Amino acid sequence: MKDLEDLKGVGPATAQKLREAGYVSIEMIASSSPYEIAETTGLPIELCKNIVEQAKEEIRIDVISGYEMYKIRQKIGKITTGSKKLDELLGGGIETQAVYEFYGKFSSGKSQIGFQLSVNVQLPEDKGGLNGGVVFIDTESTFRPDRIVEMAKHQNLDPEEVLKNIYVIKPQNSEEQIIAVEKLDYLLKDKNIKLIVIDSLTSHFRADFIGRGSLSDRQQKLNKHIHNLQRYAEKYNIAVYFTNQVMENPGIMYGDATIPIGGNVLAHAATYRVYLRKSKDEKRIARLVDSPNLPEREVIFRITSQGVSD
C-alpha cells in the first residue's frame, strides 16, 4: 500500500494535516467525501477532490461472492466470557473473525476478562470454548500465570496444560509490539490459535509518541497495526480481544466524560466496543457501545477469585 505522500499534490505538510485529522491511509481518503476532508483539514476543495480521485484509483477491489462469504462466516466460533449476561450482551460470547475492544478505568476488569478468555477458549465446544490456543501480548507486564491457574482449576482444566497453550509476548515498546504482530503468521498457523489478547493495545503508543508533533505518526502506525489484527481475525478464524485505557474528555461538562484513547483510528477499528465500569465490590458494568448488529445496552457481571461470572 502506498503512503499519503505518493498522491500527487500531497507534500509533507499536507500529509501531516490529513493524518492529524484522522485521514491516515489511502483507504480512508478514498472512502471519504472531498467536502468533509476540506472542512476538517482546511485544505482547498479542489485539492481534496483531486486526492480522493487518486486514492480511489489506488484501491484494489477484492470481490467475493455472497456464497463464499456465507461459507466463511459459517466457521465463526464463540468463546464464553464466563458470564451469561455478558455473553448475551455480545450476542452469545466473543466471536472469531471479529475484533473486540474493552476499555475502562483501572480495576474495571479489562485484564481479568483477557485472562478468563485465555482459559475459556481452551474448553471444548460444548462448554463454550474452541479447543484452541492463545497468543497473549502483555504490554503492561500484568499477565499473571497464577491467576490463570486459579481460573483453570475452577473450569476443571489442567492448569499446566492451559498455561502451555498460552504464548506470551512482552514487547518493550510500540516498535517491538508492531513487529511482534507482523510476525505472528507462523504461530497462528502452527499452534491452532483461536484467540489473540493484547493488554493493552495503546499504552506503548501513548508513551512513545508524546506531543502534538508526533500525533499523526502515531495514528498512522496504530492504523497499520490494527489492520494486521483484523486481517488475522479473518484469515485464521481467530477472535481478537484488546484492551484500551481511557482519558477524560474536557469537552463534556455533564455526565460520564470517560473516552477511550486512540481517536478516530481506534473508533472504527473494533467490530465490538465495550465500556467497563467498576461498581460495588465484585460488581462490574459492561456497556456495548459500538456494534454492527446489536443494541447499545448495559449488563452487570462479577469478578471473583474464581474469575468472571454472573
Ligand X SMILES: Nc1ncnc2c1ncn2[C@@H]1O[C@H](COP(=O)(O)OP(=O)(O)OP(=O)(O)O)[C@@H](O)[C@H]1O
Binding site for ligand X (CB under 6 A): 104, 106-112, 142, 147, 150, 303-305
Assess contact for 18 and 4: CB atoms under 8 A.
yes
Binds 303, which of ligand X, Mg ion, none (CB < 5 to 8 A, cut-off by type)?
Answer: ligand X
**Nearer to ligand X by C-beta: 4 or 286?**
286
What is the closest distance, in whole angstroms, from the C-beta atom of residue 145 to Mg ion in the complex? 15
Give long-range contacts, CB 8 A cutoff, 24+ apart: 209-213.
209/174
Indicate the SS3 state at residue 272: strand
By CB under 5 A, which span of 105-113, 177-185, 188-196, 201-209 interacts with Mg ion? 105-113
Task: Report, in Å, the least distance between residue 171 CB and Mg ion.
Answer: 16
Helix (H) or strand (E) segment spanning residue 100: strand 98-104
HSE, side-chain direction, 13 A CA sphere, residue 35: 0
Nearest-approach distance from CB 55 to ligand X, in angstroms: 37
* 202 interacts with Mg ion by CB under 5 A: no
Name which of 31 and 304 has its Cβ closer to ligand X.
304
Q: Which is nearer to Mg ion, 26 or 119 (CB)?
A: 119
Backbone angles phi, psi at 59, to 5 degrees: -75, 125
| CB of 236 or CB of 275, closer to ligand X | 275
- Cβ–Cβ contacts within 10 Å for residue 88, how many? 14
If contact means CB under 5 to 8 A according to the sort of partner, which of ligand X, Mg ion, none does residue 93 touch? none
Cell of 99: 475484533
Binding partner of 106, given Mg ion, ligand X, none, CB within 5-8 angstroms per partner class:
ligand X
Q: Which does 249 bind (CB under 5 to 8 A by kind): Mg ion, ligand X, none?
A: none
Give Cα separations from 33 to 19, 180, 208, 267 (angstroms). Answer: 15, 35, 32, 18
Smallest separation, CB 253 to Mg ion (Å):
29
Residue 279 has what DSSP assignment? -
With CB under 5 to 8 Å by kind, the binding choice for 112 among Mg ion, ligand X, none is ligand X
- How many angstroms separate the first and last alpha carbons of the chain? 45
CB 4 within 8 A of CB 15: yes
By CB under 5 A, is residue 112 in contact with Mg ion? Answer: no
- Residue 108 partner contact from ligand X, Mg ion, none using kind-dependent CB cut-offs of 5 to 8 Å: ligand X
Give yes or no for residue 41 binding Mg ion (CB under 5 A).
no
Q: How far apart, in whole angstroms, are the C-alpha atoms of residue 24 and residue 37?
A: 12
111 binds Mg ion (CB under 5 A): yes
Report the amino acid identity of residue 136.
Answer: F
Task: List residues near Mg ion by CB under 5 A.
Answer: 110-111, 142
